Structure 1
Amino acid sequence: MPYLLLALAIAAEVAATVSLKLSNGFSKLAPSIVVVAGYAVSFVALAKVLKMGLPIGVVYAVWSAIGVAAVALIGVLFLHEPVNLVMISGLVLVVGGVVLIEVGATR
């Protein structure tokens, strides 16, 4: 159950972050509503995950790294944002760091 809530928190945060760009500085109503609702859902779900006893370092690392990777991928695929090898390498390092945090937390 905590990982399902964590997945919800990540999905809501990704939707909110992408909508932040689409809101054009909060000048478009629908994406602006998704921003506020998405961040609210994300933080409530994240708080519930933490209440279930998962370590905050692991939860935050997974939440932020998957969110960063997902937003970057959406930016490249759907928003036509540029990508290069250096940026890809950075994402690999972020995800690799989260894997190491997860492995270290289980020892």
Structure 2
Amino acid sequence: MTYVLLLLAIVSEVSATVSLKLSEGFTKPVPSVVVVIGYVAAFLFLSQALKRGMAVGVAYGVWSAVGVVAVAVIGTLFLGERLAPMQIGGIGLLILGVLALELGGAH
């Protein structure tokens, strides 16, 4: 259940972050509302995952890294943004870091 809550936190945060771009400085009402609701939901879901025993380092590491990767991919696929080779390498390092957190916590 903790991973479901973490996944909901990630989806909420990514939705809010993409909507932040689409809100054009909070000048568009619908994306602006999604920003506020998304960030509130993200923190509520994250707090519930932590309450149920997920380690804060693992939860925050996974939440932030998956969020960064998801937003970068969405930006590239749907918002006309580009990823430089250095940025792609950075995404790879984020993934390795999250794996290290997960695998290190298993021992």
TM-score normalized by structure 2? 0.98
Q: Which amino acid aligns with 1:26?
A: F
SS at match of 2:27: coil
Matches within 5 A, 1:20-35: 20-35=20-35
Given residue 52 of structure 2, which amino acid in structure 1 is its aligned partner? M
Give 3-state SS (helix, strand or coil) of 1:53's partner: coil
- Which amino acid is 1:96 matched to? L
1:51 and 2:51 equivalent? yes
What residue identity is the alignment partner of 2:41? V
TM-superposed CA distance for 1:47, in Å, is 0.4
Residue 82 of structure 1 deviates from its aligned partner by 1.3
Name the residue aligned to 1:36: 36
AA of the residue aligned to 2:25: G
5+ residue gaps in structure 1? none
Deviation at 1:106, TM superposition (A): 1.1
Instruction: Give the Cα separation in 2 of the matches to 1:90 and 1:2.
Output: 27
How many correspondences in the alignment? 107
Segments of structure 2 that go 5 or more residues without pairing to the other structure are: none
Q: Deviations over 1:51-70 (max 9, x none)?
A: 00110000000000000000
Which residue matches 1:83? Answer: 83
TM-score normalized by structure 1? 0.98
Counting aligned pairs with the same residue, the percent is 53
Distance (whole Å) between structure 2 residues aligned to residue 57 and residue 94 of structure 1: 14
